[in-house]
Structure 1
């Protein structure tokens, strides 16, 4: 009875994850705590998940990556990579991205190249951004540290009492897998759409200007007193006064004659301004002064903004910026922007104030497409020190001299001592959600095993694939993981599929390693639906993609990827 109760609760968890209205970190934490309170896991098992050595290694790796992502190394490759026609540019970009993603966090790699690819004029960005995201995935599956998913799987492996996965154990299948998928992307490049970049559109459609006339009753009164804050479909964004730009505009700002007010929202609702005495509407042009402070950003998965509106977060105060427009994939959202619930991956066009770049929450909440307002890059000396230290840490751990955890601890200390990384930056970007999600997932996995729920699923799979033996069960575990990673996040898919895979291997009395690898590769096989993988959401709006664009190019890539996994894993990791 206990096994069925746990199994039903996992089904409920899956349903909530697919619905997507509650953060995975919250759901996993609640479920783990509930299992502890119900007695399915002991206090020691519940708390031990948060101190798992592989999980701590992952956290340290992400903290070290905060310094590495500021290296100018990737920028130097951009001119070389993006030369030639679309097919050649895709090939070069994919190879370079795959190489870097093998040792760096794939989100950081895509974030570093996103602005460069989006702003170049040689090839339409929509021809390159999906391959950029796919290549980051392909590079991630070639090494243990290439993607957080591999380290998450390693944390489950260690927790299950199995030997820890090695640094280049993934390379045996990962490298030929990556090469095959890159070749498919190049051959299928014609399936990628050709969209003009968003900034080539006339940005004037975002704006509506009006001027305070001489002897206007508005002059001498504040924005609030003149009731200019909550007009129907329009929002006061900026104020130009004698060649000086005031942005954003506070409610207590006193209007003067000759002030130019810039509104955003539904520009067609001009009549709302025409009815205000002393305000002259003179068109929708946006002058050079206004255009000089526009910045494009993409909402990150670490942001506080998803599922909230601009009004709820008090956007102006938080970031010293006003939102001019919102783009979601290939659509520019209209209406009262302050009431639109935001999503990860939305592209925002911001009119920023003078303190925007100094706000410490910018890099946590956004991927900036305009590199001019990014944090300063590392100096050549700092970059050399950080990259050399990272390479040494990987090499020392790969040859077995010292564990990766120890190497990363030493490297982190060096980065802090040399001020390449600061404590405040670490505190700001600490991956708390990942820590609680994976720590809780380990407790959930224990509950699945101890209650017998995982064994129930394994028995069902053994019965389902009775005529196909262990190979059929292996294929079944892989396909289950692929489906999960397409509809929920990759790390959540690995967390839910791992105990099923382990129980299935034990049911067939075979080496669990092929099933472990099926989980690792399957959890990274998110090529069809953009909403399950962070890097897809990062490129969706800058590339102006639709879901159909991912399906069109993702299907041949996904089939190639799956065929390579199912053929090569049993060869290098026999049952």
Structure 2
């Protein structure tokens, strides 16, 4: 291709370079995805490759506006705190990890069919983490299957994933027809069942889901996770033993040591008495 041909096709060349630069920015993660995409649109708009109507058409897309509205609904649900209450009561007390996985996969899968999957995950993770810690379950073996269930559940309805909504918008633009709410359910439900069966079977092996427990890393300062308390004068705890004061068998806590006038006593016995000061 000679120089004149390159000049004549400068728009295609510049567009290819902008797309490549955008993909590289998304891959490196040094810029927020929205800023990278917006920057690409601005460059193409400034060079005349895109008209103002074309540049703004994406922001007025029916699919994108629907997804934005779903995030507003999800934020409202989060503020009410209703979801945490529903999760705690709905999941109940599992008798095993396998049962816990079934429960934490079923509810999010159903919710993701009627809400966008991204807000569902954002809302479910904090509540499910608290529930898993409460019942002393491996968080990694709960959250990973739950995330997969949300994705699979979103395939069952039109609004389950933003991809389905965007495709419906593009279809409406091209043909004047849109996908119905349950037009893809016949395909999504079988995929959901197969996915559930695979996850529940394969999750029993350590190679797929390892038992990762949160812990303080070696670089962390233990003092950031410690709390110092002083027995004040005339405190009802003064004179009581460690066991009488209820400082033994604390859930998630442990009495490490007692400091008396600069003398530290570690591995305190239950019969050790508390003193003022």
Report the TM-score, using the length of structure 1 for normalisation: 0.34
Relative to 1, partners in 2 of residues 1:77 and 1:60: Cα closer, same or farther, differing over 3 Å?
A: same
- Secondary structure in structure 1 of the residue aligned to 2:12: helix
Specify which of 70, 73, 76 is matched with residue 89 of structure 2.
76
Tell me the equivalent position of 1:261.
none
Tell me the equivalent position of 1:63.
72
**CA offsets, 1:37-80, max 9 Å, x none?**
11122112222322223322222222122223432322211215
- Identify which range, 42-51 or 152-161, moves more after superposition: 152-161
Question: Are 1:102 and 1:142, in contact at CA under 8 Å, matched by a contact in 2?
Answer: yes
Structure 1 residue 163, shift from structure 2 partner: 2.4
* Structure 1: tracts of 5 or more residues without a match: 210-236, 244-279, 286-575
Specify which of 109, 118, 122 is matched with residue 98 of structure 1.
109
Tell me the equivalent position of 1:170.
184
**CA offsets, 1:187-213, max 9 Å, x none?**
1122321234548x9xx962179xxxx
Relative to 1, partners in 2 of residues 1:46 and 1:196: Cα closer, same or farther, differing over 3 Å?
A: closer
Greater Rg over alpha carbons, structure: 2
Structure 1 residue 96, shift from structure 2 partner: 2.1
Q: Tell me how far apart the structure 2 counterparts of residues 25 and 121 of structure 1 sit (CA, whole Å).
A: 38
Question: Are 2:125 and 2:143, in contact at CA under 8 Å, matched by a contact in 1?
Answer: no
Structure 1 residue 87, shift from structure 2 partner: 2.6
Q: Trace 1:124-139 onto structure 2 (pairs within 5 A).
A: 124-139=138-153
- Secondary structure in structure 2 of the residue aligned to 1:195: coil
Structure 1 residue 185, shift from structure 2 partner: 0.6
Relative to 1, partners in 2 of residues 1:149 and 1:208: Cα closer, same or farther, differing over 3 Å?
A: closer
Answer 1 or 2: which has greater strand percent: 1
* Structure 2: tracts of 5 or more residues without a match: 1-8, 233-261, 268-277
Tell me the equivalent position of 1:147.
161
Tell me the equivalent position of 2:223.
207
- Secondary structure in structure 2 of the residue aligned to 1:92: helix
Question: Are 1:145 and 1:167, in contact at CA under 8 Å, matched by a contact in 2?
Answer: yes
Tell me the equivalent position of 1:194.
211
- Identify which range, 107-116 or 186-195, moves more after superposition: 107-116
- Secondary structure in structure 2 of the residue aligned to 1:145: helix
Q: Tell me how far apart the structure 2 counterparts of residues 146 and 283 of structure 1 sit (CA, whole Å).
A: 58
Structure 1 residue 283, shift from structure 2 partner: 9.4
Question: Are 2:171 and 2:177, in contact at CA under 8 Å, matched by a contact in 1?
Answer: yes
Structure 1 residue 85, shift from structure 2 partner: 2.5
Q: Trace 1:22-61 onto structure 2 (pairs within 5 A).
A: 22-61=31-70
Q: Tell me how far apart the structure 2 counterparts of residues 52 and 92 of structure 1 sit (CA, whole Å).
A: 36
* Relative contact order higher in (CA < 8 Å, ≥ 6 apart): 1
Q: Tell me how far apart the structure 2 counterparts of residues 170 and 284 of structure 1 sit (CA, whole Å).
A: 63
Q: Trace 1:253-264 onto structure 2 (pairs within 5 A).
A: none
Relative to 1, partners in 2 of residues 1:92 and 1:281: Cα closer, same or farther, differing over 3 Å?
A: same
Q: Tell me how far apart the structure 1 counterparts of residues 149 and 26 of structure 2 sit (CA, whole Å).
A: 26
Q: Tell me how far apart the structure 2 counterparts of residues 196 and 57 of structure 1 sit (CA, whole Å).
A: 38
Relative to 1, partners in 2 of residues 1:37 and 1:239: Cα closer, same or farther, differing over 3 Å?
A: farther
Question: Are 1:208 and 1:284, in contact at CA under 8 Å, matched by a contact in 2?
Answer: no
Q: Tell me how far apart the structure 1 counterparts of residues 140 and 56 of structure 2 sit (CA, whole Å).
A: 45
Structure 1 residue 241, shift from structure 2 partner: 7.9
Q: Trace 1:372-521 onto structure 2 (pairs within 5 A).
A: none
